């Protein structure tokens, strides 16, 4: 059972999402909030597996600031942004803050459920147009520090693929993927996949 929480200020959208997710097989959605301040204590005391959060929120923090706040407070659950915003800066800011995925609000319900599953498995789900933006950004500045294979592995991770999917796409073993990822972490001076993806996006490393 994948436990999902929501932070969305539009009551109709929030209620519809909660209904869709909670009725889907393999999901539970019992936590829904309108802003980060309201959600913070509850999410930290009873953490979900995945948090689905808007960017434009009332109160002192927007969704990107909310990701940073929750991570700084010790949250370890995955966060997917669900928003109308498609500006490149906001996408990169959200991922750099610690979000593992980025969906637009016109995403169909079945794709949202798929994205929640991907995030729970360690992937980085993105809407098609957001993923294209990310891929296009990779072409701008090739990083001298990474080998060609490491760039390929990092590019696959940035498209939301799990280790197994990366291995299948590149025709290598999962152990080889892990070896490349350890090398990528060392070279980029990061400690997690989300940090590696965020740095790749922020610094145009691919």
pLDDT over threshold 60, residue 43: yes
Give the separation between CA 31 and CA 4, rounded to whole angstroms.
Answer: 7
Instruction: Return the pLDDT at 142.
Output: 55
Instruction: Return the pLDDT at 176.
Output: 93
Please name every residue paired with 126 in a beta bridge, in sequence order, or none if there are none: 102
Q: Which residue has the tokens 């090398």?
A: 183
CA 48 to chain centre: 15
pLDDT over threshold 60, residue 143: no
Residues 92, 202 contacting (CB under 8 angstroms): yes
Whole-model pTM over 0.85: no
pLDDT over threshold 60, residue 191: yes
Three-state DSSP at 49 gives coil
pLDDT tens track for 50-89: 999 999 999 889 999 999 999 889 999 999 999 999 988 8
Instruction: Return the pLDDT at 129.
Output: 87
Give the separation between CA 26 and CA 11, rounded to whole angstroms.
Answer: 24
Query: Domains of the chain by range and CATH?
Result: 2-131 (3.40.50.2300), 139-202 (1.10.10.10)
């Amino acid at each position: 059972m994948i436990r999902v929480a929501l932070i969305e200020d539009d009551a109709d959208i929030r209620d519809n999402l909660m209904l869709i997710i909670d009725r889907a097989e393999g999901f539970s959605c019992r936590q829904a909030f309108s802003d980060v301040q309201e959600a913070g204590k509850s999410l930290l005391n009873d953490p979900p597996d995945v948090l689905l959060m808007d960017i434009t929120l009332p109160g002192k923090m927007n969704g990107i600031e909310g990701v940073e706040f929750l991570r700084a407070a010790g949250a370890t659950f995955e966060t997917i942004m669900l928003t109308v915003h498609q500006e490149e800066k906001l996408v990169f800011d959200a991922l750099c803050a610690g979000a593992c995925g980025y969906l637009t609000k016109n995403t169909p319900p079945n794709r949202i459920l798929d994205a929640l599953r991907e995030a729970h498995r360690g992937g980085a789900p993105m809407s098609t147009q957001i993923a294209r933006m990310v891929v296009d950004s990779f072409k701008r500045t090739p990083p001298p520090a990474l080998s060609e294979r490491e760039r390929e592995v990092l590019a696959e991770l940035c498209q939301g693929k799990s280790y197994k999917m990366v291995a299948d796409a590149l025709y290598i073993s999962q152990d080889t993927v892990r070896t490349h990822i350890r090398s990528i972490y060392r070279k980029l001076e990061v400690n997690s996949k989300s940090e590696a993806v965020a740095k790749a996006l922020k610094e145009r490393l691919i």
